[in-house]
Chain A
Amino acid sequence: MKLTLKIWRQADSSDPGGMHTYELDEVSEDMSFLEMLDVLNEQLIEQGEDPVAFDSDCREGICGMCGLMINGDAHGPEVTTTCQLHMRSFSDGETITIEPWRADAFPVLKDLCVDRSAFDRMIASGGYISVNTGSAPEAHSVPVPRDDALRAFNVATCIGCGACVAACPNGSASLFMGAKITHLGELPQGQPERDSRVVNMVAQHDHEGFGGCTNIGQCTAACPKEIPLDVISQLNKDLRTAMRHGH
C-alpha cells in the first residue's frame, strides 16, 4: 500500500519541532508499524536525510520501550504496543499522523523519543519490597492465596510504557502507579511497607509534574496490558488508609 506519513520532527529538547510529511510506497500489511518506519528510514538515508529517531527494543510487546501517538491514539488503533501493531490495521492511501508521547513529565529528546525516567524515580521512591539478598525466608514459609497471587500478577504485567500518561488529558501517571501499589499490596510480602510506599510514590508522582487523576479513564483504554481502572481506586484507598495511620 501507499501511505502519507505526517511525522513530528524535533532535533533535540530545545528545538521547537514541527510536522513533516513523507510519502511511502510498497508498505506490506505484514509489516509491523515499526518495520514500516524502518523502511521509511532506509529511504531517508538514501536521500541523505536524517532518519526519524524512535525507541524500540524487544519488538515483542513486553519491554515497554516503544510508544508513539498514532492518529492521536497512544500506540495506535489497536489495544497493543506500537511494536505489535501491524500495517494491516491501516488501508491503502491513508494519511497517518505520528507524534511522540505528549506529557510535560516526558520531555522530548529527539523526534519520537521521550524521556520517561520519571517512572524510574517513582519506583525508587517506594515501588519495591525491602529485602536484602540472602536474607529471604524459604519461599514456602509464606503461602499466598491463589486469587491474591493472580490479581497481583494481572497488574504486575504493566510494562512501564507510558501510554496511560500520554492518553490522559491531565498527564497523570495514576494507572502506572496504581498498578505497582496494587501488585505489591496484594502480597503478604508487601504489607510492612504498604503505607510508606503509597505516600512516597504519590509525593514523587506530583513532584515529577504528572497531573492529578480525574477519573476520565483514557489511561486504561490505551493500556496495552489492560491494567484495570480500579487500581486507581486501590491507590486512593491505600493513600487514605496511610493518612489515617498518621503518615
Chain B
Amino acid sequence: MRPFYGALAGAGALLLTGISAVQAATEIELWHAMSGALGERVDEVVKKFNDSQKDYVVKSIAKGTYDEVLNGTIAAYRAKRQPEIVQSNERSFLTMVNSGAIVPTNELMAEQGMPLDTSKFIAPVVSYFAINGKLQAMPFNSSTPILFYNRDHFKAAGFDKPAATWQELEPQLDAIKAKGVSKCAMVLPGDYEWSFLENYSAVNDIPYATKRNGMDGLDTSFVFNKGKLVGQVERMKRLVSSGVMQLAGQGIIPIQLFTSGECSTIIASTASHAAVVAAAKFDWSAREIPYEQGVTPKNSVIGGAALWTLKGHTPEKYKAVAAFYDFLAKTDTQVWWHQATGYVPVTTAAYDAAKAQGYYEKNPTREIAVVQLMRGTPSDNSLGFRIGNSNQINVAIMEEVSAAFLGRKPVQQALDDAVSRGNEALRRYEQLNAGKK
C-alpha cells in the first residue's frame, strides 16, 4: 500500500506544487472519514493548504466511516505505520485521549511556537475537546442537530412552520400524515442517540449521566432512565408506531428521504446542508431542534469530529502538522469551510466574519446551528459528554431503544436495561483506565 500511496502522492505533489518544491517538502498523511461532497471539501481544504506554502504537503486519504478510520488507525498504530493525522469523531474522545498514542494538540502547537488560544474557539467545541482548557485534538468539523423541514408540506397542511416545542410539533406531524400531505411526516436519523437523546437532555437541561456527564471523572453512571427522557422515548415510540415517524432502513440514508420530498421533516446534523442544497427540489427551511414546553432551552452539544496527532513521527513531520492546524484555525479557512460544508465555524472570529459578510442574511438556515450552540450559559447538563467505551454504550442504547420501538419491551424497561448495560461498560472502562482522565 505504502509505495503506491507514496507514488500517488509524489505524482500529486508534482502536479500541485511543481518540481522545485518536491525535494524539500515534508509529506504528512491525513486519514479521514468524509465521503461524497464532504470528502471533496476535505480534499479542497488540503489543496488550499498545499498551495499556500512550499514546505509541506498534506495527503488526504479517505478511509471509510468513522469506525473504519478508527479501526484502520489502531491497526496501523499497532503495526507502527500510523499516519500523522487522523480524524476521529467526538464520541471517541476518551478512547483517543487515553490511548497513549496521541500528542495533545496544545503541546504540539506550543512546541512549534504556534500556540492555539482556546478562548478564540466557540465554547461548546472547547468544552468537548479540551481538558482543563488544553486542546487535546484540533477541532475540525463540528456540527449540531437542527430541524430541516419541507415548507411546501407545512403550507399544504395549513401551518406556517414547525412549532418550537414538542408539545406543539407532535400534533402538526400527526396532521401532516392525517391530511395526506405526506405519508412520512418525519424520518428518524440514523444517529438518533445523539440528536434525540443526548442533545435532548442538553437542550432541556436534564442530567444524562452523573459527574457532569462524565466531565468530572470516570466514576460516572447513567441516569437517563428517569424523568423527561422517558417521556421523549415514549413520544418517539408513539410516532414510530403510528407511522408518523419513519425509519429509513439499511442502504438508505435518512436525509435522502427528506431531500427526495418523501418525508416532511428530519432532525439532522447541520452538515446535511451540503446534501439538502444539492438535492432538495422544493421550498425547504430549517429551525432549532424542538424542546419541552415550559423549558428555557439551553445550548445543544456538538457532534462531528476533530483531528488527532499520532505519536511516533519525526520533529519535521510535526512541524508540518502544526502548520496545517494553524492554517485550519485561520479565519479565512474557517469561513470557507463553514460555507462550503454546513459545519459550524469553530472560532468566534470566523462566525463574526461570516456575519459581517452578510452571509446569514442570504442563508439564514446556516446560522441556526451556531446560535443554538451558543444559546444561554452552558449548564452541567449541556457542557458535553465524556463517556468511556462510548461506542459500546452507543450500540447498547440504540439496541434497547429500538427494542422499545418494536414493542419488545416497555419504554421504561428498555431505558433501565440501557442504563445498566451502559453502566457495566463504564465500570469496565474505569477498571482498565484507573488513574487516568
User: Do A and B originate from a single complex?
Assistant: no
B residues at A contact (CB < 8 Å): none
Chain A residues packing against B (C-beta within 8 Å): none
